[in-house]
Structure 1
């Protein structure tokens, strides 16, 4: 009886890339992340647009009531009813935008890991990738903004910052209306409104920073550069 030759384990490197089922799994996951990221960005634009629409409607309503009542007690009553609702929607939108940005970063890191797998399967393709294949912070920045770091203009143009500033202004206006309702002097109303707006902006900024910093601190990359 002739002895059979030993069976060598199948190596992925010995196969043509197009015949590897692993590539299909990776591509499916990649498209899933792309679709989810697209939905996340659509939600960001939708939530921001909805909040600004509500705010615009509230401003128009306040203007009409002010013209009809001459900024009297009826106007203050109406403002004290509608501004808290607008502020509630705005704060909820701000927190959701922070969460959406964190989710978007996770999906970018996931796609970087998939690119790392592509390069493991076909190392000769590395020079064709514009996005990074490392899942550390520099890799995230490289894929997200095609540079090692983002500047101040990038953060200033972000949806969370815009919504946070609008929330701070709405809070300041609400504080001024409350001061007017209790009979405070104009100078006091102005000072309280400005201080309230500044404090609100600082608090929202700290909350957003702590959320992002916590996620970044607990994350450990698997394929650092």
Structure 2
């Protein structure tokens, strides 16, 4: 689903379900059906996140093993360098695709959480006495979404650093650095120049990926308007 389909039309006064009897009412059944649908979609999204991350790490591990076998067979000469130039860009391409897909999957997961928060808001309009039993939020603003995610209004740096997109992005930056070092080796650059070039390329790649991911999240956040803020 594209961004245009996700954009919410301006809402003056949100619809209210107060005064509707929850017992045997079809509204409650419709809400429950939608809730299970969003939950199943979120489960598939998380499965895709784990699957794509695992696939990339498997490809990268196979690449490292192949490089080590070629190095043992032929040393770190011209044959190894040409083979590294062949397999490292392929691994990097898969890594970049995985990174961008993980960013989009996190955005989609946030929308699913927002949808379930709105449904909880409807549940509490039908049965306000159930509010003390909910540990997740029934507000669709940023604090409400974070409460559902982690049971707190905001998370720290360690939470963000341990996320799949960040981990994959760091690995991609390392691959870029190694590839830059191989290119310098082919160009007969000195050890110091290879080290500096590899480290610079890795840091630059990490910065670029970080900015791209942050801008994507900010773009979606800027366009969103909550209907049931806390």
TM-score if structure 2 supplies the norm length? 0.91
How many aligned residue pairs are there?
A: 214
Deviation at 1:14, TM superposition (A): 5.7
Is this contact kept in 2: 1:12–1:20, CA < 8 A? no
Mapped partners of 1:71, 1:205: distance in 2: 33
Residue-by-residue CA offset, 1:158-177 (whole Å, 9 max, x unaligned): 10110000000000000000
1:186 to 170, 191, 195: 191
Mapped partners of 1:54, 1:219: distance in 2: 37
> What does residue range 33-52 of structure 1 map to in structure 2 within 5 Å?
33-52=38-57
Residue-by-residue CA offset, 1:166-205 (whole Å, 9 max, x unaligned): 0000000000001111111111111000000000000000
1:156 to 156, 161, 182: 161
Q: Which has the higher contact order (CA 8 A, sep 6+)?
A: 2
Q: Which runs of 5+ in 1 are unaligned?
A: 1-10
Partner of 1:5: none
User: Residue 19 of structure 1: SS of its match in structure 2?
Assistant: coil
1:65 to 62, 70, 74: 70
Mapped partners of 1:53, 1:18: distance in 2: 51
Partner of 2:10: none
Partner of 1:121: 126
Residue-by-residue CA offset, 1:113-167 (whole Å, 9 max, x unaligned): 0000001111111111111000000100110110010011111111011000000
Deviation at 1:63, TM superposition (A): 0.3
Is this contact kept in 1: 2:20–2:126, CA < 8 A? no
Mapped partners of 1:104, 1:12: distance in 2: 29
Q: Which runs of 5+ in 2 are unaligned?
A: 1-16
1:167 to 154, 159, 172: 172
Residue-by-residue CA offset, 1:56-93 (whole Å, 9 max, x unaligned): 00000000001111101000000000000000000000
Is this contact kept in 2: 1:119–1:125, CA < 8 A? yes
Residue-by-residue CA offset, 1:6-25 (whole Å, 9 max, x unaligned): xxxxx97263x121100110
Bigger Cα Rg: 1
Mapped partners of 1:32, 1:18: distance in 2: 21
TM-score if structure 1 supplies the norm length? 0.93
Q: CA 1:121–1:74 in structure 2 vs 1: closer, same or farther (change >3 Å)?
A: same
Mapped partners of 1:169, 1:18: distance in 2: 57
User: Residue 134 of structure 1: SS of its match in structure 2?
Assistant: coil
Partner of 1:100: 105
- Show structure 1 runs of 4+ deviating over 3 A: none
2:205 to 190, 197, 200: 200
Partner of 2:61: 56
User: Residue 42 of structure 2: SS of its match in structure 1?
Assistant: helix
Partner of 2:7: none
Mapped partners of 1:220, 1:60: distance in 2: 49
1:144 to 149, 165, 176: 149
Is this contact kept in 1: 2:18–2:125, CA < 8 A? no
RMSD: 1.1
